[in-house]
């Protein structure tokens, strides 16, 4: 029986050398040049992605139905999803290195934690792979 493996159970792909090379490019040339090198890597990982690619497609299909998007979900949607995920890894590095600070964060509403702090209330944070909850 050939059951589909859930994307979260799939082993990480890529090589240590490949990641080291991208990190070297990042350190030497910065984010803009890194992005040029990162894109073909992301495209390769997307098209060879199997269950990850399928999970991304199904996720955006559900969103498309709910939001009633006029544009169909296609491989470009998936590549953009994978690319944002890859870029978020370097966002984390930038945050750890102090290149992104809490002052750079733009909230969609007034900072909700300030009110909780005034009321001496706690909160539960729910984040995703695409978020920078570290900041």
pLDDT digits (tens, 9 = 90+) for 29-88: 999 999 999 999 999 999 998 888 999 999 999 999 999 999 999 999 999 999 998 888
Task: Report the distance separating Cα 68 and Cα 126, nearest Å.
Answer: 26
CB 33 within 8 Å of CB 27:
no
| pTM metric for this prediction | 0.73
Q: Within a 10 A sphere around the Cβ of 35, how many other Cβ atoms?
A: 16
């Amino acid at each position: 029986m050939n059951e589909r493996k859930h994307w979260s159970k799939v082993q990480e792909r890529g090589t240590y050398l490949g990641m080291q090379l991208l990190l070297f490019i990042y350190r030497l040339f910065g984010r803009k040049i890194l992005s040029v090198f990162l894109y073909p890597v992301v495209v390769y990982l997307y098209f060879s992605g199997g269950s990850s690619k399928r999970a991304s497609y199904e996720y955006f299909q559900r969103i498309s139905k709910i939001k009633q998007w006029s544009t169909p979900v296609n491989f470009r949607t998936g590549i953009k999803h994978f690319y944002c995920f890859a870029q978020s890894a370097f966002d984390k590095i930038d945050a750890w290195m102090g290149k992104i600070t809490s002052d750079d964060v733009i909230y969609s509403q007034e900072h909700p934690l300030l009110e909780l702090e005034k009321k001496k209330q706690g909160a539960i944070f729910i984040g995703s792979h695409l978020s920078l909850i570290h900041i």
